[in-house]
A and B are shown apart, each in its own frame.
Chain A
Amino acid sequence: MSAGERPEVRPYGGAARPERRAAGPAGVSADSPVGRLAATVERLSREVRAAQAEAEGRALIELAKGILVERLGCGPSQAARQLAELTEQAGTSPLEFAVEVINQAARDRMSEVTDAFLAATAAAEEAGPEPAAVRLRAAESGALAANDTQAVAESLLEQALRPLGAVAVAIWAAAADGSLTLAGSAGFSPAEAARWYYVPPDVATVARCGLEERDGLWLRSPADKGLPSVGRHHYPEGGRAALPAGTGGRLYGVLEIVWPEPLPAQPPQIVRQVEALAELCAHTLETYTAPGGPDQRPAVLPDAAELMDLADGLYDPALVLVPHLDAAGNLVDFRIQHVNSRFLDPAGRPRGMVSGALLLEAYPMAAGDSELFQRIERVYATGEPFRARRMNLTALVDQVPLAAVADISVSRHGAGILFIWRIEDETARLASLLQHAQRLGRIGGFEENLLTGEITWNGQLYDLYGRPHASLPVPLEELPAHAHPDDAVTIGRFLRTLLHHRRPASAAFRLQRPDGVTRHIRVVAEPVLDTDGRLLTIRGAYQDISAQHWTEVALAATRDQLAHTEQQASERDRLALQLQRAIMPPAQAPLQVPDLDVAVRYRPAEAEQLVGGDWYDAVVLPSGLVLLCVGDVAGHGIEAATSMVVLRNALRGLAVTGAGPGQLLSWLNIVAHHLTGGVTATAVCGLYDPASRTLRWARAGHLPPVLVRGAEAAPLPLVRGLLLGAVPEASYEEDEVRLAAEDNLLMYTDGLVERRDRSVEESLTHLLTAAATAPGTLDQRLDRLLTYSRSDTDDDTCIVGIRVG
Chain B
Amino acid sequence: MPIAQDPLSVEVSLPREDVALLTVAGYLDVDTATEFQHHLANQLHHGRRHFLLDLSAVPFMDSSGMNIILRVYQEARELPGSVHIISPAPAVRRILDLTGVSITVPVSESVDEALERVDGTPPAPEEPQD
Docked-complex contact B95 and A721, CB < 8 angstroms: no
Interface residue B119 (Cβ < 8 Å from any Cβ of A): no
Docked-complex contact A726 and B94, CB < 8 angstroms: no
Residue of B nearest to A700 (CB): B100
How far does the alpha carbon of A446 sit from the alpha carbon of B100 in the complex, in Å?
Answer: 50
Interface residue B64 (Cβ < 8 Å from any Cβ of A): yes
Set A720, A723, A726: member contacting B74, Cβ < 8 A: A726
Residues of A within 8 Å of B71, CB to CB, are 678
Interface residue B104 (Cβ < 8 Å from any Cβ of A): yes
Interface residue B98 (Cβ < 8 Å from any Cβ of A): yes
Set B29, B62, B101: member contacting A726, Cβ < 8 A: B101
Interface residue B99 (Cβ < 8 Å from any Cβ of A): yes
Docked-complex contact A760 and B98, CB < 8 angstroms: yes
Docked-complex contact B101 and A701, CB < 8 angstroms: yes
Residue of A nearest to B102 (CB): A722
Docked-complex contact B100 and A720, CB < 8 angstroms: yes
| A-contact bits for B86-119, CB 8 A (1 contact / 0 none) | 0000110011011111011000000000000000
How far does the alpha carbon of A727 sit from the alpha carbon of B104 in the complex, in Å?
Answer: 9
Name the residue in B99, B101, B103, B128 with the highest tally of chain A Cβ atoms < 10 Å from its Cβ: B99
How far does the alpha carbon of A678 sit from the alpha carbon of B72 in the complex, in Å?
Answer: 12
A-B CB contacts (within 8 Å), total count: 61
- Interface size in chain A (residues, C-beta < 8 A): 23
Residues of A within 8 Å of B103, CB to CB, are 720, 722
Interface SS majority for chain B: helix
Docked-complex contact B98 and A703, CB < 8 angstroms: yes
Interface residue A221 (Cβ < 8 Å from any Cβ of B): no
List residues 749-805 of chain A with CB under 8 A from any CB of chain B.
Answer: 754, 756, 759-761
9 A-B pairs closest in CB distance: A722-B100, A701-B99, A634-B63, A726-B70, A759-B91, A723-B99, A701-B100, A721-B100, A722-B103
Docked-complex contact A726 and B73, CB < 8 angstroms: yes
Whether A634 contacts B100 in the complex (CB less than 8 A), given A727-B74, A759-B91, comes out as no
21 contacts between A and B (CB under 8 A): A634-B66, A635-B64, A678-B71, A680-B70, A682-B99, A700-B100, A701-B101, A702-B99, A703-B98, A720-B100, A720-B128, A722-B100, A722-B101, A722-B104, A723-B66, A723-B70, A726-B70, A726-B73, A754-B62, A759-B90, A761-B94
Docked-complex contact A756 and B99, CB < 8 angstroms: no
Docked-complex contact B94 and A760, CB < 8 angstroms: yes
Interface residue A718 (Cβ < 8 Å from any Cβ of B): yes
Docked-complex contact A723 and B91, CB < 8 angstroms: no
Residue of B nearest to A633 (CB): B63
Set A680, A727, A756: member contacting B66, Cβ < 8 A: A680
Minimal beta-carbon separation of B33 from chain A (angstroms) = 11
Minimal beta-carbon separation of B55 from chain A (angstroms) = 15
Minimal beta-carbon separation of B126 from chain A (angstroms) = 12
Minimal beta-carbon separation of A798 from chain B (angstroms) = 15
How far does the alpha carbon of A232 sit from the alpha carbon of B27 in the complex, in Å?
Answer: 55
Minimal beta-carbon separation of A188 from chain B (angstroms) = 54
Interface residue B17 (Cβ < 8 Å from any Cβ of A): no
Minimal beta-carbon separation of A122 from chain B (angstroms) = 56
How far does the alpha carbon of A754 sit from the alpha carbon of B61 in the complex, in Å?
Answer: 11
Minimal beta-carbon separation of B16 from chain A (angstroms) = 26
15 further A-B pairs in the complex, CB-CB below 8 A; given A678-B67, A726-B73, A726-B101 = A634-B63, A678-B71, A680-B63, A680-B66, A682-B63, A701-B98, A701-B100, A718-B98, A720-B103, A722-B99, A722-B100, A722-B104, A726-B104, A756-B60, A760-B95
How far does the alpha carbon of A760 sit from the alpha carbon of B90 in the complex, in Å?
Answer: 10
Residues of B within 8 Å of A721, CB to CB, are 100
Docked-complex contact B128 and A680, CB < 8 angstroms: no
| B-contact bits for A524-568, CB 8 A (1 contact / 0 none) | 000000000000000000000000000000000000000000000
Interface residue B11 (Cβ < 8 Å from any Cβ of A): no
How far does the alpha carbon of A680 sit from the alpha carbon of B63 in the complex, in Å?
Answer: 9
How far does the alpha carbon of A721 sit from the alpha carbon of B62 in the complex, in Å?
Answer: 18
Whether A723 contacts B101 in the complex (CB less than 8 A), given A680-B67, A680-B70, comes out as yes
Residues of B within 8 Å of A700, CB to CB, are 100
Residue of B nearest to A727 (CB): B104
Residues of A within 8 Å of B70, CB to CB, are 680, 723, 726
Residues of A within 8 Å of B101, CB to CB, are 701, 722-723, 726
Residues of B within 8 Å of A634, CB to CB, are 63-64, 66-67
